[in-house]
Amino acid sequence: MLVSSLPRAVRTELTKLRTLRSSWLVLGLTVLAGIGLGVLSARSTAHAWAGMLAADRAALDPVGSSFDGLDYAELGFGALGVLAMTGEYATGMVRVSLLAVPGRWVFVIAKALVVGGLGALVGEVCAFGSFLAVQHTLGPTGRAVQLGDPHVLRAVSAAGLYLAIVALVGLGIGAAVRHTGPAVVALVAVVFLAWPAARAVEGISTLPSKLLLANAVDALVTVVPVTGPQAARVPGPGLACGVLVGYAVAALAIAGWRAGRDT
Amino acid sequence: MLSSLGSPLLPAPVEGIRLTDVTKRRGGRLVLDRVSFEARPGAVTGLVGANGAGKSSAVRLVLGLDRATGGTALVCGRRYRDLERPLHAVGAVLDSPTAHPGRTARAHLACLAASHGIGRQRVASLLEQTGIAEHADRRVQTFSLGMRQRLAVAAALLGDPAVLVLDEPVNGLDPAGIRWIRVLMRAWAREGRAVLVSSHLMGEMASTADRVVVLRRGRVVADGTVPDVIRSTGADSLEEAYLVLDARTAQVCS
């Protein structure tokens, strides 16, 4: 049942995404913000470079600064995931969607494949686009790096993949909450604002901090070792991968469970 | 069980809808209490009752949108969720909006059609048949209630289904819209399809349905042809028969 009906369910989800103006709007603005803000920030650095202190110059992480705009783009990817689900429940469309694709897991997996797949594609476009544009902008500083430099390819592709994970987290939250407004609030709480809560219990354990999306992705997108108090919060690469996969799996599990409930 | 042993060369006999001892409990409240009835091919079966009698709940269980607490609801001999290509078996017009307001009518149908590999040609011809072809590329949020209902009917017919289920389809429609739905339902039944329609408008049901199932507080209190139900209560219209049944069961229950 799952195997036979999944390809058609995926085509349905692609059609749904393609035929809504909001999808294009969210994706367009997200790519614009993701690359544009990174470039603007790099231009400021390049302009200020001549007057910068040696210590400030040394602190510049050319790879990390490629992703300045992606912090902002995260919100767009999360919103894409949220809307994919709440666009169904808030409008009543979900009922005919489930009449057409009655397998709840088929429905959820098809949505996750489309949102996750498109998230990964556009996420990588953002990450690589931003990286290349920022390195070009940083040219005058003499600190620009290339994709072939150690760890750089890993960092850039992880940054793009992370955006797909945020989109999936949005999907899970959208399925759980079903209303756009509250779901976006929950998304912001989980993706952007969970750190004070984790930091509050650091006296007991730094594990909650290590389980945060933001810290997990930090571990994968930096090419210079993290120092200072932040070092205790950033998980190792293995745990970081586990955390990202964990969020995606949890989002899917929640979405599947919620879709199985009465609509 | 014998039917499953039938020759694979013959098409499966067309079955309509069959509920057997269906019970639904929601939040501790009994919404449906051992409900059994049938909607047969070639007939319009009206599911009637007051608001809150359980009509929509029964429809949702038939369509697999909710899960029954007990009993079975079968369409074409199977549970809805077990149907391989459900839109070819059952078409449904639900009682509240089911299209994303931001999509065009054509895009809405295309989304559903994609799930069954149904082509653009079929979508275009249904937009034509339901009279909304000239508005097909407008977004649904600009549609009047009547046009939305036409779109819902087009969606229900995508797979040319043997069974049609309509939940309060004439609510809010103008006289022309009401007649359009009535004529359609009669035509579907003539073509041999099973039509189940829920309504609380007795006059409308009297002129559309062949049989009626009367629900009261989640229980079936009458089930038969329209003339039989009227005769059994000594009334002279379906509306009056319904009110007699309502009063009678109210006494029994209290």
CB A152 within 8 A of CB A63: yes
Shortest Cα distance from A39 to chain B (angstroms)? 33
What percentage of chain A reaches a pLDDT higher than 70?
99
Smallest Cβ distance to A99: which of B84, B92, B114? B92
Burial class (CB in 10 A: 0-12, 13-18, 19+), B164: buried
Sign of CA dihedral A124, A126, A132, A135: negative
Contact between chains at B99 and A91 (C-beta distance less than 8 A): yes
pLDDT for A72 = 87
* Residues A126-154 pLDDT 10s: 999 999 999 999 998 888 999 999 899 99
Amino acid sitting at position A49: W
Contact between chains at A8 and B99 (C-beta distance less than 8 A): no
pLDDT for A231 = 83
Q: What is the ipTM of this complex?
A: 0.90
Q: What pairing do the DSSP bridges indicate for beta strands B70-75 and B17-26? A: antiparallel
A102 chain-B contacts, CB cut-off 8 A: 64, 80-81, 83, 86
pLDDT score of B160 more than 80:
yes
Q: What pairing do the DSSP bridges indicate for beta strands B163-167 and B194-199? A: parallel
CB A114 within 8 A of CB A68: no
Please give the model's pTM, rounded to 2 decimal places: 0.91
- Exposed e or buried b for every residue in A219-244, given b needs 16+ CB within 10 A? bbbbbeeeeeeeeebbbeeebbbebb
The two tokens of residue B80 are 């809805």
Alpha carbon distances (Å) from A187 to A215, B69, B215: 16, 34, 44
pLDDT for A202 = 86
Amino acid sitting at position A95: R
pLDDT for A180 = 95
Say how far apart CA B106 and CA B114 lie, in whole Å.
12
Say how far apart CA A194 and CA A217 lie, in whole Å.
14
pLDDT band with cut points at 50, 70 and 90 for residue B223: very high
pLDDT for B14 = 62
pLDDT for A116 = 97
pLDDT for A1 = 56
Q: What is the mean pLDDT of residues A71-85?
A: 94
- Exposed e or buried b for every residue in B55-81, given b needs 16+ CB within 10 A? bbbbbbbbbbbbebeebebbbbbebbe
> Is A115 or A221 the better-scoring residue by pLDDT?
A115
pLDDT score of A226 more than 80:
no
Q: What is the mean pLDDT of residues B180-190?
A: 96
What percentage of chain A reaches a pLDDT higher than 90?
69
Say how far apart CA B98 and CA A96 lie, in whole Å.
6
pLDDT for B12 = 45
B97 chain-A contacts, CB cut-off 8 A: 91-92
Contact between chains at A99 and B87 (C-beta distance less than 8 A): yes
Contact between chains at A15 and B114 (C-beta distance less than 8 A): yes
* Residues B2-57 pLDDT 10s: 333 334 444 444 689 999 999 999 988 999 999 999 999 999 999 999 888 999 99
pLDDT for A2 = 64
Q: Report DSSP state, residue A185.
A: H
List residues bridging with B198 in a β-sheet: B47, B167
pLDDT score of B88 more than 50:
yes
Amino acid sitting at position A25: L
Q: What is the mean pLDDT of residues B72-95?
A: 95
